[in-house]
Structure 1
Amino acid sequence: MKRLRLLIVDDHEVVRLGLRLLLQNRPEFELVGEAESGAQALRLVERLRPDLVILDVRLPDQDGVEVCREITARFPETRVLILTAYPDEEFIVRAIEAGASGYVLKQAGSRELIEALEALARGEAILDPTITRKVLEQFRQRSRATREEAFKDLTPRERLILARIAEGKSNREIAKELFLTEKTVRNYVSIILDKLGVSNRVEAAAYALKHRIHDFLKEEDSAS
């Protein structure tokens, strides 16, 4: 399997050192560079063209979300994983809108981070389950009419699977919970992404949370 070429962007040397030590013995990853500012990150991305940038949203010279936006706009082949200590709802939504492929908290353990990187290497998108709950709270005031419009093109089964995606569950977990095969779930996910007009699971999760899919499903159950 091709090694995933990584660039770390964080203004804290200790964080960079910790990530370096975590990744150095992993044969599937190759650390190609480190940056401590947004400007330096953009220069290195242009020169090194990494597969993935691990990016802190709080940088000394620029807003990390805007750095993410510029990276994804100028170098669409490079994916961005937001790694931060701040589960701030505003930053989460802005980062997803800026094209981030994932959002993981620094409080996550080393195993969780490696699993997130491995998922990104497989072309999946990652959203920390803790974050999904916070984003959900931000959109509690959306109206029922808006929710109905948001999910009108999805079948009941597709809505259930979308809700599980919004909870941060993997295809395997969804398959086990809904008594489906992983292949069937993958097919459903592709259909859902197409119907919603989004490109990956993170965007689908953000869409679902924004339009309060869990409230929508509860309302459907109450009405039936």
Structure 2
Amino acid sequence: MQPLTIILVDDHEVVRMGLRLLLEQIPETRIVAEAGTAADGVRLCSLHQPDVVIMDIRMPPGDSGIEACRAIVERQPGTQVIMLTSYADDELIADAIRAGAVGYVLKQGGTGELIRALDAVRQGAALLDPAITRRVLAMMRQRGDTRHDPFNELTDREIDVLRLLAEGKNNAEIAAALVLSDKTVRNHISVILDKLHVGNRVEAATFAIDHDIRSYRSSAP
């Protein structure tokens, strides 16, 4: 099995050092670069094309981890972004999900938390704790974020994948149409299922058709 390539992004060197020590204990992982700013993280992702970016959700003012996540996901759809957080801040996690992150890891979670996260990435799964997910979605509904937009949580690329899924395309056909790898398509579909809270691709396609995804245009500014 090919090692999972990883970039670490955190403005605190001691945090990066701790993560590096933990990751060195996990088989089949390889750190290819580290960055102390979100901007450097985006630049290094373009250079190294890693499988995973582990990035601090809270960065100094003017150096947003959320915006960096959005840029990475749009430019490198094959790269999965895991956000680091000191505690489960529902609002920040909601912002990270909308930006395309596959989930989050608590900084104090230790080796077991990282292993769980990286295993989920290998399997194309999302890393969203069900209790946190319910709270985040309830908060988003209260704010009116999803009132008029059933696909509000999906990134533009995920919308593209779901639209083709609703047309009955298989993974290989979706990959060919969007010029993606099969693995990337599987990752996107797994995240779509989690975000839409459906159990399989048939339910996702049915949801998409019921909500007229063929004529859907994002309501985002």
Give 3-state SS (helix, strand or coil) of 1:11's partner.
coil
The answer as to 2:3 corresponding to 1:34 is no
Q: TM-score, normalised by structure 2?
A: 0.63
Distance 1:52 1:121 in 2: 10
**Are 2:81 and 2:102, in contact at CA under 8 Å, matched by a contact in 1?**
yes
Displacement of 1:100 after TM fit? Answer: 0.8
Q: Deviations over 1:100-148 (max 9, x none)?
A: 11222223232122111111012111113452253155257599xx7xx
Q: Deviations over 1:26-58 (max 9, x none)?
A: 222111111110111111111111111001111
Return closer, same or farther for 1:129/1:39 CA change in 2, 3 Å cut-off.
same
2:15 alignment partner in structure 1: 15
**Are 1:23 and 1:29, in contact at CA under 8 Å, matched by a contact in 2?**
yes
Distance 2:138 2:110 in 1: 24
Displacement of 1:192 after TM fit? Answer: 2.9
Structure 1 unaligned spans of 5+? 151-164, 169-184, 198-224
**Are 1:7 and 1:54, in contact at CA under 8 Å, matched by a contact in 2?**
yes
Q: Which has the larger radius of gyration?
A: 1
The answer as to 2:199 corresponding to 1:191 is no
**Are 1:36 and 1:59, in contact at CA under 8 Å, matched by a contact in 2?**
no
**Are 1:69 and 1:98, in contact at CA under 8 Å, matched by a contact in 2?**
yes
| 1:190 partner amino acid | R
Give 3-state SS (helix, strand or coil) of 1:108's partner.
helix
RMSD of aligned alpha carbons = 2.9
**Are 2:6 and 2:33, in contact at CA under 8 Å, matched by a contact in 1?**
yes
Distance 2:14 2:205 in 1: 41
Q: Summarize the alignment of residues 10-89 of structure 1 with structure 2, pairs less than 5 Å apart.
A: 10-60=10-60, 61-89=62-90
Distance 1:53 1:133 in 2: 25
Distance 1:12 1:134 in 2: 29
**Are 2:90 and 2:136, in contact at CA under 8 Å, matched by a contact in 1?**
yes
Identity %: 49
2:122 alignment partner in structure 1: 121
Return closer, same or farther for 1:33/1:196 CA change in 2, 3 Å cut-off.
farther
Distance 1:122 1:139 in 2: 28
1:135 alignment partner in structure 2: 136
Displacement of 1:87 after TM fit? Answer: 2.2
Return closer, same or farther for 1:195/1:9 CA change in 2, 3 Å cut-off.
farther
Return closer, same or farther for 1:47/1:96 CA change in 2, 3 Å cut-off.
same
**Are 1:104 and 1:128, in contact at CA under 8 Å, matched by a contact in 2?**
no
Distance 1:16 1:26 in 2: 15
**Are 1:104 and 1:127, in contact at CA under 8 Å, matched by a contact in 2?**
no
Return closer, same or farther for 1:129/1:104 CA change in 2, 3 Å cut-off.
farther
**Are 1:105 and 1:128, in contact at CA under 8 Å, matched by a contact in 2?**
no
